[in-house]
Amino acid sequence: MIGTRFWASHEALVHPRILDRALRATGDDTIRTQVVDVVRGFNWPGRYNGRVLNNPFIQKWHGSEDALKLEAGVEAAKWAAAQEGGDPDVATAFAGEGIGLIRSAAPAGDILAKLIADGQRCLAGADA
């Protein structure tokens, strides 16, 4: 959850349209897949995947990664253009199921300060 929270920070290198889509998502809008790695040319072993926001591009290729590899050049160009242009129907972001708990972007320093304060409150209330 912390990685996803910092991804939704002002400092994160994410297109505002993709961030907006993520901030409206729930954990049920995510999926574990290899599609993003395949389209980016990363050849991870089959047991490794990542959780991303589901979208039409992911839906088209999830479970058809071998076919995606055959179309990698064309699809990689589409993916790169979508990342640059912020098209959330093609480009997506790695996001954990905790995305549903995040409704706004914040400065990373504020996120960290809140995390520390919440942790201190929890520890202060714990039985020693």
Cα torsion for 101, 35, 87, 73, to the nearest 10°? 160
For the entire predicted model, the pTM comes to: 0.87
pLDDT of residue 128: 58
pLDDT of residue 38: 96
pLDDT of residue 46: 85
For residue 54 the two structure tokens come to 């589901």
pLDDT tens for the chain, 128 residues: list them. Answer: 799 999 999 999 999 999 999 999 999 999 999 999 999 999 889 899 999 999 999 999 999 999 999 998 999 999 999 999 999 999 998 999 999 999 999 999 999 999 999 999 999 988 65
Is the distance from CB of 51 to CB of 96 less than 8 angstroms?
yes
pLDDT of residue 126: 81
Q: How many CB atoms lie within 10 A of CB 46?
A: 7
